[in-house]
Structure 1
Amino acid sequence: MRVLFVVYPSHAHFWPAVPCAWALQSAGHEVRVASHARFEGSVTAAGLTPVGLGDARVDEARTRPDARAPSHPEEVLRYADALGLDAAAREHWIAYFQWLLNPISDYVRTDLPYADELIDFARDWRPDLVIWDPTFACGPVAAKVSGAAHARMLIGPDYLAWSLDRLAERRTELLAAGLSPNPQAELMAPLAEKYGMEVDDELLYGQWSIDPMPPGLVLPTSTTTLSMRYVPYNGAEPFPRWLHRRPERPRVALSLGESTRRFIKGDWGRTPKILEAVDGLDVEMIATVNAPQLEGVERIPDNVRTIEWVPLTQLMPTCSVLIHHGGLGTFGAPVAAKVPQIVCDTGETLMMQPVEVDPKMPGDGTYRVGFEFGISEDVVEKVTSWELPAKKLEATPTADYVVGRGAGLRLNHRTQSVEEIRAVILTAVEDPAIQRGAQDVFDTWLAMPSPADVVPLLERMTLEHRRG
């Protein structure tokens, strides 16, 4: 059969889908990967065939100055009140309404070419199955137009389906409060109407979802899901020679993801504090950080090697501990290598707050629509920025899972001193109970169906759901 993957042009979104695409391709199916044309090189590097959308010379949609901005906190809280959410549930809602609706809006726009080009390709190529990134929401429209079955490929806790369920449950209360009963449907409506369809549950949820989250990280939703083991893939890179040799001392890796490094200088002061904490310890640290993340670091300790990038799949087998930001892609690499984890989590709310900053002097921890280092830095007018929490979107649930399973510890650079962080690192390196916890998490991970195991299920469900 023909399978079309539709992914947001970000490694954090694409890499989790690669092992599933490989499994389908290895089973003899034709696989294509559609994304922004600038992302074609990443797709071909993974041994897959790209379908470039738009012009590779043009910045992708999120870096446009007219990209959708986050919802104001007052609006977020009005919804949370109408939905009757407690404190924990409000964090799920904030993740969806203030964070995820922004990228969802990027590729359903009818004034940009991407959705139309995807739909034209689907009409011509006639895929049997479309597997779409929940933030690339023109995917299900292309599937419906071409008659394909379609499923969402989750890359984290399913905040979208969880929130859509809450919206459906409290429709009456939302209308009474003067709020839209479904803001995601409103974003998708112009594109759906252009192709003669209504935004129904199938366009919002998919016909089913592929969920790589282990038990304990899965949010309860009304969707049909296929569980699939998250197989880590972090890009195709030459294997560094220095990784051929086992380290003489315990090796501690530091990886803070590839997303916020694009637009935040100084890493909220986290990187300087962690490097100071490791200074003088009888360990070797490999810190995969770039120049903006190193802003504020006065001296690189002698036992620290900084390198902008090395695939964690290459690095993890040589490590005793990974310190990371809590992203699910980064979380998966140490799980597969039975490596204990230290998850950076400040425990603060996910709510973004609007602030005014000088466009030529980006603040530490602020996000501006249309700005990324090295890509789109030509903001010349004073614009509203957004103060981000000093943590990754999934940091708290990831930290809760790791700590709860005894597979690692939590690091809060806001509240812990350098001495306390040093003690956390030593405990993670030396405590055999944490190593046993990492083994337990590995066993849970290994018990999940592999991408190859899921292929026959995808074949069967495609036959059941495709049209024509």
Structure 2
Amino acid sequence: MRIVVAAAPGMGHLLPAVPVAWAAVSAGHQVLVATTGPSLDMAQRLGFAAVDVSDDGEAYAAYRRLAAREMETRPDGHDLSSAWRRFADPGEDTDRPDDLLLHLVACTVDRTARVIRDWGGDLVLYTTFLCGGQLAASRAGVPSVRVGIGLPHPDFPGLHPERPAPSAAVLDVCPPSLRPEGAGRNGWPLRFVPCNGGGVLPGWLQRRAVRPRVCVTWGSVLDQHGMGPTLDAVLAALEPTGAEVVLATGSATGTDGPLPANVRRVGWVPLSALLPGCAALIHHGGSGTTFTACAQGVPQLVIPQVADQPLNAQAVSDAGIGVAIPRTRPGVREVRDALERVLDDPAVHRACERVRLEIASMPQPGDLVPRLAGLAPAADRPPAPAASPVPRPAEATPAP
């Protein structure tokens, strides 16, 4: 079977599909990644063959404009008691296609469809409708499968005037404890396997922390879009705690002077390698970040900003695995009070362990590869390998 992984330029849209792609390769199938921008670089770093479906850079430029617009128009706070309900049932908003979103899809969908046809793809894996993966598969006449990035996001066909063929399956990584009330259960359960790319670990990170270690990150996009004041408040709240703070936020610090003495800056370090030694994670509520912490059993302090981040913040709060701050620009005292509960409340730690075990009990990616192969057209499926004969034991040679 030949699988095309179609992903948007942002790495958070590629990485959730990688464990399934790795499992498919291990089972003898072929995988080709169709993407652009940072996702293209990450695909190559992870060892995949990849094709640039927007080599003029316009798709990534549109993606950055979309992120900038979201941050410029973000509210002062979110209602974290109803974030999921408003997201899942937005009413008339889905009937008005977004021009910038349509432009982003238009930058990639034609070339992605051509890649599928030219390479002879049998199946398309995609994580969101953002890059048009489902639409490209529909145009190429092959089945598509949506890989969940976290909570069970509904499809919004109204985001594009062209209605693609329905997905053949949905791989659902959301465990029962995080599933929002009223969310559907029509997907194939799949264990969330953290994949955050590679990176070189500094020596101090290889050793057990002497003091409580707290990681602060805004993912791969938001630290470029006005998160400085929020970071200032977080670092000020952390300074008197004596914690060892690991700052994984790219190049922008948000501070004019030197960092506090208890702060260590790291470059790109995989969260899956960093979090096991952490007492807490402070972050923006991105799906990959949230679910990596869930899979590692690490308590979370979430300060959501845009997109699906309020949904993840509500899920963290509802499940008791951390604390979510409704305000997008909280003050120092607000962060400090929330952090004290995250670090000190035994109920939070028990809930984190419960969710970690739930995720660990879900089917792993390799378990679903045969089902994915069953979705490919029968004529294009490779024949099953013949069973090897069991060798008969050699006869003993008589002694001379």
| Shorter-chain TM-score tier | 0.7 to 0.9
Residues 1:252 and 2:214 are matched in the alignment: yes
* Unpaired segments ≥5 residues, structure 2: 71-81, 382-400
Residues 1:453 and 2:367 are matched in the alignment: yes
The CA deviation at 1:332 is 1.7
Out of 271, 287, 291, the position equivalent to 1:312 is: 271
Out of 344, 356, 362, the position equivalent to 2:303 is: 344
What amino acid maps onto 2:42 in structure 1?
A: S
Quote the Cα distance in structure 2 between the aligned partners of 1:66 and 1:319.
Answer: 31
Residues 319 and 140 (structure 1), Cα distance of their counterparts in 2 relative to 1, 3 Å cut: closer
Quote the Cα distance in structure 2 between the aligned partners of 1:416 and 1:143.
Answer: 43
Quote the Cα distance in structure 2 between the aligned partners of 1:149 and 1:65.
Answer: 26
Residues 268 and 237 (structure 1), Cα distance of their counterparts in 2 relative to 1, 3 Å cut: closer
Residues 397 and 146 (structure 1), Cα distance of their counterparts in 2 relative to 1, 3 Å cut: closer
Out of 399, 403, 426, the position equivalent to 2:313 is: 399
Instruction: Give the TM-score of the pair, scaled to structure 2.
Output: 0.80
Quote the Cα distance in structure 2 between the aligned partners of 1:66 and 1:237.
Answer: 24
Residues 90 and 38 (structure 1), Cα distance of their counterparts in 2 relative to 1, 3 Å cut: closer
Instruction: Give the TM-score of the pair, scaled to structure 1.
Output: 0.69
CA contact (8 A) 1:156 1:394 kept: no
Out of 215, 230, 233, the position equivalent to 1:273 is: 233
Residues 1:125 and 2:87 are matched in the alignment: no
CA contact (8 A) 1:273 1:413 kept: no
Q: Which residue matches 2:398?
A: none
Quote the Cα distance in structure 2 between the aligned partners of 1:310 and 1:28.
Answer: 30
Out of 239, 242, 247, the position equivalent to 1:287 is: 247
The CA deviation at 1:444 is 1.4
Q: Which residue matches 2:384?
A: none
CA contact (8 A) 1:217 1:398 kept: no
Quote the Cα distance in structure 2 between the aligned partners of 1:133 and 1:440.
Answer: 26
Secondary structure at the aligned position of 1:33 is classed as strand
Quote the Cα distance in structure 2 between the aligned partners of 1:32 and 1:14.
Answer: 12
Quote the Cα distance in structure 1 between the aligned partners of 2:255 and 2:37.
Answer: 35
The CA deviation at 1:149 is 2.1
Deviations 1:330-370 (A, max 9, x none): 0122222221111114xxxxxxxxxxxxxxxxxxxxxxxxx
Quote the Cα distance in structure 2 between the aligned partners of 1:42 and 1:87.
Answer: 31
Residues 100 and 406 (structure 1), Cα distance of their counterparts in 2 relative to 1, 3 Å cut: farther
The CA deviation at 1:241 is 1.6
Quote the Cα distance in structure 1 between the aligned partners of 2:104 and 2:278.
Answer: 39
Quote the Cα distance in structure 2 between the aligned partners of 1:219 and 1:136.
Answer: 25
Residues 1:441 and 2:400 are matched in the alignment: no
Q: Which residue matches 1:361?
A: none
Secondary structure at the aligned position of 2:174 is classed as coil
Quote the Cα distance in structure 2 between the aligned partners of 1:66 and 1:450.
Answer: 33
CA contact (8 A) 1:37 1:51 kept: no
Alignment of 1:17-416 (within 5 A): 17-36=17-36, 39-55=39-55, 58-64=56-62, 89-92=85-88, 97=94, 101=98, 104-109=101-106, 112=107, 114-136=108-130, 138-161=132-155, 163-164=156-157, 182=158, 184-186=159-161, 188=162, 199=163, 203=164, 205-215=166-176, 216-217=178-179, 224-262=186-224, 264-265=225-226, 267=227, 269-292=229-252, 294-296=253-255, 298-345=257-304, 391-412=305-326
Q: Which residue matches 2:14?
A: 14
Q: Which residue matches 1:386?
A: none
Residues 272 and 445 (structure 1), Cα distance of their counterparts in 2 relative to 1, 3 Å cut: same
Residues 270 and 420 (structure 1), Cα distance of their counterparts in 2 relative to 1, 3 Å cut: same
Quote the Cα distance in structure 2 between the aligned partners of 1:87 and 1:312.
Answer: 26
CA contact (8 A) 2:8 2:131 kept: no
Deviations 1:184-207 (A, max 9, x none): 342x3xxxxxxxxxx3xxx15422
Deviations 1:83-121 (A, max 9, x none): xxx986444456974999567524542xx5x43332222
Quote the Cα distance in structure 2 between the aligned partners of 1:290 and 1:20.
Answer: 28
The CA deviation at 1:68 is 7.9
Out of 325, 339, 356, the position equivalent to 1:425 is: 339
* Number of residue pairs matched by the alignment: 368
What amino acid maps onto 1:59 in structure 2?
A: G
What amino acid maps onto 1:323 in structure 2?
A: I
* Unpaired segments ≥5 residues, structure 1: 73-85, 165-181, 189-198, 346-390
CA contact (8 A) 1:38 1:52 kept: no
What amino acid maps onto 2:61 in structure 1?
A: T
What amino acid maps onto 1:255 in structure 2?
A: T
CA contact (8 A) 1:158 1:219 kept: no
What amino acid maps onto 1:154 in structure 2?
A: G
CA contact (8 A) 1:130 1:139 kept: yes
The CA deviation at 1:324 is 1.1
Q: Which residue matches 1:78?
A: none
Quote the Cα distance in structure 2 between the aligned partners of 1:66 and 1:428.
Answer: 33
Q: Which stretch of structure 1 is more off in the superposition, 243-252 or 131-140?
A: 131-140
Quote the Cα distance in structure 1 between the aligned partners of 2:202 and 2:95.
Answer: 40
CA contact (8 A) 2:147 2:170 kept: yes
Residues 430 and 34 (structure 1), Cα distance of their counterparts in 2 relative to 1, 3 Å cut: same
The CA deviation at 1:4 is 0.9
CA contact (8 A) 1:342 1:409 kept: yes
Identity across matched positions, percent: 29
What amino acid maps onto 1:116 in structure 2?
A: D
CA contact (8 A) 1:61 1:67 kept: no
CA contact (8 A) 1:140 1:150 kept: yes
CA RMSD of superposed structures (Å) = 3.5
Secondary structure at the aligned position of 1:300 is classed as coil
Residues 10 and 415 (structure 1), Cα distance of their counterparts in 2 relative to 1, 3 Å cut: closer
Residues 281 and 446 (structure 1), Cα distance of their counterparts in 2 relative to 1, 3 Å cut: same
CA contact (8 A) 1:159 1:219 kept: no
